């Protein structure tokens, strides 16, 4: 097969790993009951893990055996790092070189700035991921072993699983109620939040911050992408924490019975999770309608580009805001932090946002036609799937098989990105050799 676009190889790679994961989860050895899992349930779980989402149709700790949980954990790690990133590492280890096609695919997946730094970015992604996961895993294992008297093999397993799941923004947990049992434990909650934030900022931002701290101190600023991501991510994070905490402060089914310190901790936790993590320390089904809508917005925006987070990304959201501001002011070009924004970037941001809106709306309408659930619940579910978040009001397993396949498609699109999917599915690409006469329609 002739690959016309790097995105096609990225999509094919994820599809191939999905197929392998589905087959492995269908094996009787993957379940505690020793029975084969249905294809739809296995496919849903495999895609949810590979796309680091966290939505589930079966209870992870009770349904899957150790082998099944291992498959889920492996898919989370592969999905978080990226199929092309791991393929590049394998090629470097075996052949000590990267072919041009693999370099283009890795560049498209990791958002490397050029072919010259693909190798450097790939190794940086691997080292960063393994380092953060190892530190979080050790601290969590110590907490589970010392505070909750878990046997040390079990404590280590819990620490490793939740560290990988948190850093990759997957949201899979080995507790039936996710992290509700640890809602008032600041140690575990802060560690999970830290891993989620680091993974959600995106590899380019973290790597640049680590490498260029001295440069920034000397008066040479970080790149425009890093500055936009840090500012927007931080602003939305603070906004989410404050809004969720205030909205649920008196809700007797969530924050109401807690003391002030516990309310602040749980509110902060749920202000961070819509960044596409998917863990919950409160019962999401009991959230106020305003909280659900706020979560919809935050989940749709997502986290940083080229990381483990989903959504349309905070950079897309910020760039659209700058475009709107420039248009309102009547400015002929868009300026962002003393830099001019190219027209191609503006079109790309608009395309990503509108394709995302279209995907969520089609998915929501389809599920509303298939089920009798409320709009609040269905919209929350579809946005969570597209944003690869994993939060749910508890309707996932109750959706019919056809509806679960709709969520599978949304998770796949959300993880790879609307533009990557669209370009991979395009019949052909061709340059435009001429321009037609210009005419301005009425807008607004």
The number of angstroms, rounded, from the C-alpha of 71 to the middle of its chain's C-alpha atoms is 19
Instruction: Report how far apart, in Å, the C-alpha atoms of 98 and of each of 89, 91, 118, 424 are.
Output: 9, 6, 9, 22
pLDDT at 118: 63
Domain limits for position 193: 6-425
Report the 10 Å Cβ neighbour count for 385.
34
Q: How confident is the model at residue 265 (pLDDT cuts 50, 70, 90)?
A: very high
- Residue 431 is assigned to a structural domain of this protein: no
Q: What is the pLDDT of residues 99-116, one digit of tens each?
A: 555 555 555 555 554 545
Which residues are paired to 272 by β-bridges? Answer: none
Q: Pick the closest to residue 360 from 380, 381, 377, 383 (CA basis).
A: 383
pLDDT at 211: 74
- Residue 443 is assigned to a structural domain of this protein: no
Q: What is the mean pLDDT of residues 120-149?
A: 90
Count of domains forming the chain: 1
User: Residue 348: pLDDT above 60?
Assistant: yes
pLDDT at 93: 47
User: Residue 220: pLDDT above 70?
Assistant: no
Q: What is the mean pLDDT of residues 209-232?
A: 75
Q: What is the mean pLDDT of residues 115-129?
A: 71
pLDDT at 417: 79
Q: How confident is the model at residue 429 (pLDDT cuts 50, 70, 90)?
A: low
User: Residue 403: pLDDT above 70?
Assistant: yes
Residue written as tokens 């505070």?
147
- Residue 281 is assigned to a structural domain of this protein: yes
pLDDT at 14: 86
What are the tokens at 115? 């072919």
pLDDT at 86: 56
User: Residue 296: pLDDT above 50?
Assistant: yes
User: Residue 215: pLDDT above 80?
Assistant: no
Three-state SS at 347: helix
How much is the mean pLDDT over the chain? 87
Q: How confident is the model at residue 94 (pLDDT cuts 50, 70, 90)?
A: very low
User: Residue 439: pLDDT above 90?
Assistant: no
Q: How confident is the model at residue 276 (pLDDT cuts 50, 70, 90)?
A: confident
Report the 10 Å Cβ neighbour count for 318.
21
Q: What angle do CA 5, 10, 14 make, to 5 degrees?
A: 150
Q: How confident is the model at residue 117 (pLDDT cuts 50, 70, 90)?
A: low
pLDDT at 389: 93
- Residue 433 is assigned to a structural domain of this protein: no
- Residue 69 is assigned to a structural domain of this protein: yes
Which of 79-88, 303-312, 402-411 comes out lowest in average pLDDT? Answer: 79-88
Name the more confident of 86 and 380: 380
Which of 118-122, 210-214, 416-420 is most confident? 416-420
Q: What is the mean pLDDT of residues 426-435?
A: 68
Q: What is the mean pLDDT of residues 171-186?
A: 94
User: Residue 266: pLDDT above 90?
Assistant: yes
Q: How confident is the model at residue 11 (pLDDT cuts 50, 70, 90)?
A: confident
User: Residue 374: pLDDT above 50?
Assistant: yes
pTM for this entry:
0.90
- Residue 371 is assigned to a structural domain of this protein: yes
pLDDT at 422: 65
CA dihedral 272, 278, 281, 287 (to 10 degrees): 90
Alpha helices in 147-185 (DSSP H): 152-167
- Residue 436 is assigned to a structural domain of this protein: no
210-230 burial, b at 16+ Cβ within 10 Å, e below that, comes to: eebeeeeeeeeebeebbbbbb
- Residue 1 is assigned to a structural domain of this protein: no
CA–CA separation, 282 and 393 (whole Å)? 11
């Amino acid at each position: 097969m002739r690959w016309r676009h790097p995105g096609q190889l990225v999509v094919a790679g994820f599809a191939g790993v999905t197929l392998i994961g589905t087959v492995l989860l269908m094996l009787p050895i993957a379940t505690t009951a020793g029975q084969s899992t249905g294809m739809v349930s296995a496919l849903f779980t495999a895609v949810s893990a590979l796309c680091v989402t966290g939505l589930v149709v079966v209870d992870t700790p009770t349904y899957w055996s150790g082998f099944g949980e291992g498959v889920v954990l492996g898919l989370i790690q592969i999905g978080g790092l990226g199929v092309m990133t791991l393929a590049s590492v394998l090629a470097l280890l075996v052949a000590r070189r990267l072919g041009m096609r693999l370099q283009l695919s890795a560049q498209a997946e990791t958002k490397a700035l050029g072919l010259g730094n693909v190798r450097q970015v790939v190794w940086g992604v691997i080292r960063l991921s393994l380092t953060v996961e190892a530190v979080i895993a050790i601290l969590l294992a110590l907490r589970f072993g010392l505070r909750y008297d878990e046997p040390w093999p079990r404590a280590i397993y819990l620490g490793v699983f939740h560290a990988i799941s948190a850093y990759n923004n997957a949201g899979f947990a080995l507790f039936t109620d996710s992290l509700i049992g640890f809602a008032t434990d600041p140690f575990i909650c802060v560690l999970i939040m830290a891993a989620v934030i680091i993974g959600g900022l995106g590899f380019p931002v973290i790597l640049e911050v680590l490498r260029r701290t001295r440069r920034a101190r000397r008066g040479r600023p970080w790149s425009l992408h890093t500055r936009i991501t840090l500012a927007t991510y931080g602003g939305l994070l603070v906004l989410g924490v404050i809004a969720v905490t205030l909205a649920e402060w008196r809700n007797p089914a969530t924050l109401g019975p807690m003391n002030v310190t516990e309310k602040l901790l749980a509110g902060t936790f749920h202000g961070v999770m819509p960044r596409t993590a998917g863990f919950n320390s409160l019962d999401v089904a009991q959230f106020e309608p305003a909280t659900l809508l706020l979560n919809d917005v935050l989940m749709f925006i997502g986290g940083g580009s080229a990381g483990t987070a989903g959504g349309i990304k905070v950079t897309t959201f910020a760039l659209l805001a700058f475009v709107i501001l420039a248009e309102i002011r009547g400015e002929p070009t868009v300026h962002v932090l003393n830099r001019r924004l190219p027209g191609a970037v503006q079109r790309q941001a608009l395309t990503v946002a509108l394709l995302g809106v279209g995907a969520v709306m089609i998915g929501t309408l389809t599920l509303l036609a298939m089920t009798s659930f409320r709009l609040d619940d269905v919209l929350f579910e579809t946005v969570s799937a597209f944003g690869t978040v994993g939060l749910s009001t508890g309707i996932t397993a109750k959706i019919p098989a056809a509806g679960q396949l709709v969520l599978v498609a949304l998770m796949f699109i959300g993880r790879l990105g609307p533009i990557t999917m669209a370009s991979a599915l395009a019949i052909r690409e061709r340059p435009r050799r001429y321009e037609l006469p210009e005419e301005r329609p009425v807008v607004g």
